[in-house]
Amino acid sequence: MDLSRLGYAEINSSQFGPVHGPFMMEQLVCQREKMLTSKGLFMKSDPLQYAVPLLMIQMSVIIITSRIIFGVLKPLKQGMISAQVLAGVVLGPSFLGRNIAYLDTFLPPGGKVIIQTISNVGFIIHLFILGLKIDWTIIKKAGSKAILIGAASYAFPFSLGSLTVFFINSTIGLPKQVVHCAATVISLSSMTSFPVTTTVLEELNILNSELGRLATNCSIVCEACGCLVALAFNLYTRERTMNGVWGIVMISCLLGSIAGIFRPSIIWLTQRKSKSMDNKDVVPFYPILLILSIVSIASEVFGVHAAFGAFWLGVSLPDGPPLGTELATKLDMIASSMLLPCFIAISGLNTNFFEITESHENHVLMIEVILLVTYGCKFLGTAAASAYCKTPIGDALCLGFLMCCQGIIEVYTTLVWKDAQVVDTQCFNLMIITILIVTGISRFLVVYLYDPSKRYKSKSKRTIINTRERNLQLRLLLCIYNVENVPSMVNLLEATYPTRFNPISFFTLHLVELKGRAHAVLTPHHQMNKLDPNTAQSTHIVNAFQRFEQKYQSTLMAQHFTAAAPFSSINNDVCTLGLDKKATLIVLPFHKQYAIDGTVGRVNGPIRNINLNVLEAAPCSVALFIDRGECEGRRSVLMSNTWQNVAVLFIGGRDDAEALALCMRMAEKPELNVTMIHFRHKSSLQDEDYSAMDEYNLIKDFKSHAANKGKVHYVEEIVKDGVETTQVISSLGEAYDMVLVGRDHDLESSVLYGLTDWSECPELGVIGDMLTSPDFHFSVLVVHQQQGDADLAIDDSYKLPVEHQKVGDTRIQPRFSAEEGFTTIDLSKN
């Protein structure tokens, strides 16, 4: 090779030129020494001719371009993977790379080798993280429905696509390379990767929806089918020589070493370090990285990609905390956010649509037809199998689209095939562009067609007022984030005064943010994995409520659940459980936590989004609980009669009536002082025409209670505008432990004049937002009545007997016993 005829001057960090390879002409890149870092422009040194500055510029441009494209495509519900591939296409020879000067500067052969190497390291770590989040035991929990749909999703496209190729080849004849390419694209199009599916579901905020759980189970079955077919095909086509046998033996030894040596070693190191540092969340980070490197190198030695060993090492380790959570947190930022975009963009950089010559146009068209037929068969096969399993037609169509979505696993596969010359450039281009188009259309249609909230839209009344009027059992769903929420929730239960004649059913839901795990979980507490660290915290919460149950035996019935899901969609679990258990009221902690001096200690934005989403779509009434138990110094679960004074602020409206109905139940408790503060305008003193008969009856009943019970008080405050209303509320001081108020009021009421112009937390309403001020030291319960109450049917489920039992009768109500048939959310039926 004549260096004087190479494409770069001597000052460049690399030189390249064509050489004869074993099969075809290839490019040989010669990297010069001591050309890593630039001496600076003032020394007349071009930074782009040096490896490190060029690498930094390439990474920066790729990341910025992908972010810009992602922002443009976000209204179309496209994912980051698609944006990163398109960024590579834009920066590569298909668009900007048509300019030779730009291509030689931004993507010289030497620079391309370096960024490919660095990005492959990021991909190896990312695939390790994906494997770490997978719990392969869920395939055992997949029901017959998921097995049938998952198998059909792979079998239909693979078999019908192959028949299509056979028919075309028999009819018109196809060149050998076209048949080979068609067989390759069929195997790729039939794939549905479990990590890709869960990523798409999480991005679309439906991971823990009914469709999301079904798609998760179906995808892992489909991927298992693909692995079995690939293994069988590999064994059939492998050379019948000792080298082929040794290859299989070595890969089997690698997998055996991962399962028998590396996995136990990592678990032992984790347990040892946790005990030595007295912290269960500590993991041996550097030893795990060392083992990851050893496994990746061993994979390359045995003839497979380094990511193969990394992925299966991740799969072998326990998902979730502490390993999954801690490793994903530490590695995700560098690997997934910085290096992975470069790896994915390389697929676009390798794409060149202009290499499709006229002589290949007919073959390209034929391969594209086969691709589209295969994807069509995959969609129809999935939808047909879903319809056969009695899935609603809308959900069946959406599931078909979801199973057609592909991502990083398929992009990685096409890159490996191109590097191994399994597919040529034309076939590679078609596969990349088809993945982008099919996945993009499928994602958009799923968002358009599927509404997860339809699963938990109630057709019956689930309000406290209806419970009171129709003598129904009060059923509460208490949402808990940590043990700090428990004491005040217990106080709320105690204040509702459960008795043998008017018992209460309550359900606790421990909300856990999904970290280090790919699939969402919603399960009763007693079915949780004992080795899961989330189980320990849930157990503390359950134990606290069980102590309270022991105090009120025969008057309370409880069930405890745990939901682990992304906080962006965990509201689906809250609403689903509320509907399944026919809850009357869902109680959610407020997103602000207060310190012991009354000031705001911490603000949690994701929790606020959860509250907003539940308020919008809940199947029953909802209450936001502003907990100031820390300020009051009452945190013990075992303390009795913690709340002594409770007040309800009444202005007017459906929500205020709902709050008053709950307060009426509290007024039955003999030890509790209950006060109703009724705000009225001077002009309405002679007007008793309330907006609804419910309000009139509730106020009348409360006045009757106040006249007959010494600890129940009715106070009427006459105000003329919002200023005087604020003054009255400010005078409450520390006279009360708990204040109830409706979220929405009669906005035309003069008592709110001037208060509706601004609100920091609209989800609390005008008065509720005012009560978040650090000037107040009592807890607040902001109540919002179920939406659409007028159009809902009457449901008399859990109706209590009208006749009273005799004094001294210890029998429990027939509809409230230890044998009550609680329904459970069966997640394994999919």
Write the pLDDT tens digit of every residue in 746-762.
767 778 877 777 778 88
For position 236, which CATH number holds? Answer: 1.20.1530.20
822: in domain:
no
371 vs 706, higher pLDDT: 371
In angstroms, the Cα distances linking 191 to 157, 158, 341, 426 are 9, 9, 22, 21
Amino acid 8: pLDDT: 42
- Rounded Cα distance between 449 and 454, Å, is 11
- The answer to whether residue 224 scores a pLDDT higher than 80 is yes
567: in domain:
yes
What is the average pLDDT across 191-216?
88
In angstroms, the Cα distances linking 5 to 9, 31, 107, 595 are 10, 16, 20, 74
- Partners of 741 in the β-ladder: 649, 782
184: in domain:
yes
Q: How many CB atoms lie within 10 A of CB 609?
A: 16
Q: Residue for token digits 């936001």?
A: 624
What is the average pLDDT across 581-602?
84
3-state secondary structure 511-562: EEECCCCCCCEEEEHHHCCCCCHHHHHHHHHHHHHHHHHHHCCCCEEEEEEE
What is the average pLDDT across 343-359?
76
- Rounded Cα distance between 338 and 123, Å, is 10
Q: Same domain, yes or no, for 359 and 323?
A: yes
Q: Same domain, yes or no, for 124 and 175?
A: yes
Q: Which residues have CB under 8 Å from 759's CB, separation 6+?
A: 765, 766, 769
796: in domain:
no
- Rounded Cα distance between 86 and 102, Å, is 18
- Rounded Cα distance between 705 and 711, Å, is 9
Q: Read off the pTM.
A: 0.82
Q: Same domain, yes or no, for 647 and 699?
A: yes
Q: Same domain, yes or no, for 197 and 301?
A: yes
Q: Which amino acid is at 447?
A: V
531 vs 153, higher pLDDT: 153
693 vs 87, higher pLDDT: 87
Q: Same domain, yes or no, for 445 and 464?
A: no
What is the average pLDDT across 633-654?
71
The band of 242, judged by pLDDT with boundaries at 50, 70 and 90, is low
In angstroms, the Cα distances linking 418 to 341, 371, 413, 415 are 19, 17, 9, 5
Q: Is residue 685 classed as helix, strand or coil in its secondary structure?
A: coil
- Rounded Cα distance between 441 and 76, Å, is 9
What is the average pLDDT across 722-740?
86
In angstroms, the Cα distances linking 631 to 370, 600, 781 are 68, 11, 16
For residue 484, what are the domain limits?
A: 460-631
Q: Same domain, yes or no, for 287 and 169?
A: yes
Q: Same domain, yes or no, for 277 and 190?
A: yes
Q: Same domain, yes or no, for 619 and 661?
A: no
Mean pLDDT estimate for the chain: 81
Q: Same domain, yes or no, for 241 and 372?
A: yes
- Rounded Cα distance between 638 and 650, Å, is 32
Which of 631, 657, 688 represents a domain boundary (last residue)?
A: 631
Half-sphere exposure of 323 (CA within 13 A, CB side): 28
Q: Residue for token digits 């968002």?
A: 447
381: in domain:
yes
Q: Which residues have CB under 8 Å from 82's CB, separation 6+?
A: 73, 436, 439, 440
421 vs 672, higher pLDDT: 672
640-650 CB burial, b ≥16 within 10 A, e <16? eebbebbbbbb
Q: Same domain, yes or no, for 442 and 574?
A: no
Q: Same domain, yes or no, for 351 and 405?
A: yes
How many structural domains is the chain composed of?
A: 3
Q: Which amino acid is at 811?
A: R
Record the tokens describing residue 592, joined without a space.
């602000």
Q: What is the pLDDT of residues 269-312, one digit of tens each?
A: 888 876 665 555 577 888 889 999 999 999 888 878 888 889 88
3-state secondary structure 121-182: HHHHHHHHHHHHCCCCCHHHHCCHHHHHHHHHHHHHHHHHHHHHHHHHHHHCCCCHHHHHHH
- Percent of the chain exceeding pLDDT 90 equals 19
Amino acid 173: pLDDT: 76
Half-sphere exposure of 322 (CA within 13 A, CB side): 15
List the one residue out of 9, 496, 442 whose CA is nearest residue 197.
442
658: in domain:
yes
With beta carbons less than 8 A apart as the criterion, state whether 288 and 263 touch.
no
- Rounded Cα distance between 572 and 578, Å, is 10
Q: Which of 142-151, 238-247, 599-608 has the lowest mean pLDDT?
A: 238-247
| Residue 531 Cα to chain centre, angstroms | 22
Long-range contacts: 28-33, Cβ < 8 Å, 24+?
28/1, 29/109, 29/110, 29/113, 31/110, 31/113
- The answer to whether residue 602 scores a pLDDT higher than 90 is no
- The answer to whether residue 11 scores a pLDDT higher than 60 is no
Terminus-to-terminus CA distance in the chain, angstroms? 63
For position 677, which CATH number holds? Answer: 3.40.50.620
Q: Same domain, yes or no, for 437 and 468?
A: no
What is the average pLDDT across 67-96?
90
Phi, psi of 701 (to 5 degrees): -65, -40
237: in domain:
yes
Record the tokens describing residue 406, joined without a space.
């592909």
50: in domain:
no
Amino acid 15: pLDDT: 62
CA torsion sign for 436, 437, 439, 445 is: positive
Which of 612, 631, 650 represents a domain boundary (last residue)?
A: 631
- Partners of 783 in the β-ladder: 623, 742
Q: Which of 368-377, 460-469, 624-633 has the lowest mean pLDDT?
A: 624-633
Which of 396, 414, 449 represents a domain boundary (last residue)?
A: 449
- The answer to whether residue 359 scores a pLDDT higher than 50 is no
33 vs 804, higher pLDDT: 33
What is the average pLDDT across 344-369?
75
- The answer to whether residue 558 scores a pLDDT higher than 80 is yes
Q: Is residue 699 classed as helix, strand or coil in its secondary structure?
A: helix
